[in-house]
Amino acid sequence: MTLAPTSVVTLGSKRYETHAEAVRVDLRALPGVNACAITLPAEAGVDAAPGDPAEVELDGGEGAETVLTGTVRAVHRGLRRTRVIAADGSADLAGLRPAATYERQDATAVIRALASDAGTGVERIQVTLQLAAYVAGQGRTAAEHVAALAELAGAIGVFTAGGKLDVAPAAPAAGMALRHGRELVACEVSEDPGPPSVPTPVGFGPAGSPQAPGALRHSDDAIPTSASAAGPGTLRRSVAVLHAPSVAGGAGQAASDLHGAEGSRLRGRAFLLPKLRPGTVLDVQDLPASLGGGPWLVTAVSHALAARAGGSTTFEARAASGGAGGLLGAGLSAVGGLL
């Protein structure tokens, strides 16, 4: 069977089914940005402007899938070609630097408030992290705040194909399988445990719960009391929002899971696979035993389609053993790179 990758792009009120010369879609777990660059011939008559709705569908030969729903962010017009940059709500989160304090609200409420301030829709927020207070300062973008809260709760933040925020722990089992020699063209597995010090988040609070009276008081000793002492094998990280032993203990377990998972990384290249997105847990089949088959949690995906070169998907993943993608710092760099 010969696959014939195609794209359908909607910009404003116009739909372009056969016009695009090239389409590239970059998808990242938060705080990264989901963005797309579409190159069209000048005669295609692109009249879209920043702020107009945008939607990109890709078909790798097995059915069309929406890969990005958002808005036009920039339009570059030339004599021969027009290049349009589009992004979803992750760009709005990454562009917002909030200045707000939330008292006696859990992480779900804080994330929902940040999404509302950025004007982004919410698909799901499934985290358990009780907070006595949270300061969303301007030293971080809203996307970085959401990613940090998700990481403390052992979750990962992504945007869906429909352009909505989804924050939840990784699925316990693979929901997609790739076969080497079928969809998967090339892959590389890296085993790098990194520094021996395990980052351990600790807090300082005597209260039994974040809702208890005096929950904002600091204790002399760090919590949880079971946390390993600082030393060559343990790097203690003070986290101001951890005010109760049970909350600090949960955050410590999530950090330990993440530290272990990030030691195993997978990079792959496949035929165009529009279904593959950050947050997907997948198995890779028919690999040599030394590479291992997963499961893997996908953290970044790039779909590329060119009129004369066909389509391909490249992706990055880490071991799916719980925890969130601790990738703080991408901000609006994905959009900037496409510009």
Q: Who contacts 327 (Cβ-Cβ below 8 Å, separation ≥6)?
A: 28, 29, 31, 32, 147, 299
Mean local confidence (pLDDT), 151-166: 96
What does the pLDDT read at residue 290? Answer: 66
pLDDT category of residue 227 using cuts at 50, 70 and 90: confident
- The pLDDT value recorded for residue 106 is 92
Q: Residue 84 is encoded by which pair of tokens?
A: 């349009």
* pLDDT at residue 334 tops 80: no
At 337, the pLDDT band (50, 70, 90 cuts) reads very low
Give the pLDDT score at 322: 42
User: Is this structure's pTM higher than 0.85?
Assistant: yes
Which pLDDT score, from 0 to 100, does residue 293 have? Answer: 64
Q: Where are the domains of the chain?
A: 6-87, 198-261
CATH of 6-87, one of 1.10.3210.10, 2.30.300.10, 3.90.1150.10, 3.40.50.1220: 2.30.300.10
pLDDT tens-digit profile of 178-187? 888 788 898 8
Tens digit of each residue's pLDDT (9 = 90 or more) over 19-30: 899 999 999 999
Instruction: Give yes or no for residue 332 having a pLDDT over 60.
Output: no
pLDDT band at 165 (very low <50, low <70, confident <90, very high): very high
For all residues of the chain together, what is the average pLDDT?
87
100 has which bridge partners?
A: 136
Give the rounded percent of residues in the chain with a pLDDT score beyond 70.
91
Q: Is the pLDDT of residue 84 over 80?
A: yes
pLDDT band at 208 (very low <50, low <70, confident <90, very high): confident
- Which pLDDT score, from 0 to 100, does residue 339 have? 37
Kindly state the tokens that stand for 145. 């705040």
Q: In which band, very low, low, confident or very high, does the pLDDT at 299 lie, cut at 50, 70 and 90?
A: very high
Contact, 102 vs 110, CB < 8 A?
yes
The Cα-based distances of 288 to 141, 247, 291 in angstroms read 42, 41, 6
Higher pLDDT, 196 or 46: 46
* CA gap 40, 80 in Å, rounded: 9
Does residue 111 have a pLDDT over 90? yes
Q: What is the model's pLDDT at position 335?
A: 39
Q: Is 99 exposed, middle or buried (0-12, 13-18, 19+ CB in 10 A)?
A: exposed
Between 276 and 309, the more confident residue is: 276
The pLDDT value given to residue 191: 83
Which carries the bigger pLDDT value, residue 269 or residue 261?
Answer: 269
pLDDT above 90: percentage of residues in the chain:
54
User: Pick the residue with more confidence: 247 or 281?
Assistant: 281
Cα separations in angstroms, 162 against 49, 69, 335: 21, 5, 19
pLDDT given for residue 321 in this prediction: 66
| pLDDT for the residue 8 | 95
| Predicted confidence (pLDDT) at residue 73 exceeds the cutoff of 80 | yes
**β-strand 6-11 against 35-41: which pairing, if any?**
unpaired
